Amino acid sequence: MDEDDFNGIIQGLSEAAALMRGEDVPGIRVHVPTDSDVRAIRGRLGLSRTDFAKRFSLPLGTVRDWEQGWRAPDTASRNLLKIIDREPEAAARALEGV
């Protein structure tokens, strides 16, 4: 490893540390996905946790874990929750029989 390699590693570590502190790093864009408020979505639909899980083919335990903050929805789940929030009837129709 030469000096340029070493300096590149040091620069990368410095940039990573700055990002972890919440600082802006030129040339690096960070996307932080917004959390899905599952309880609020379910509340707007007027569904119990059990009914919400059944209607949208979700494991009841997963819905509970999301609502209680034990787990966070992954990207695909956040996308599904966004569709459910915006178009609940279409989502329910699409998931019938799943």
pLDDT in tens, 24-52: 888 887 765 567 899 999 999 999 999 99
Mean pLDDT, the chain, whole residue set: 90
CA distance 92 to 84: 8
Query: Hey, which CATH number is domain 38-95, 1.10.260.40, 3.10.290.10, 1.20.1250.20, 3.40.50.300?
Result: 1.10.260.40
What average pLDDT does range 75-97 have in this prediction? 93
Closest to 69 measured CA to CA, from 36, 20, 32, 34: 36
Tokens, residue 5: 């390699």
Distances (CA, A) of 63 to 6, 24, 34, 42, 98: 47, 35, 17, 10, 17
What average pLDDT does range 56-84 have in this prediction? 93
pLDDT of residue 75: 86
In the chain, where the domains are located: 1-32, 38-95
What average pLDDT does range 15-21 have in this prediction? 85
What average pLDDT does range 60-73 have in this prediction? 93
pLDDT of residue 34: 61
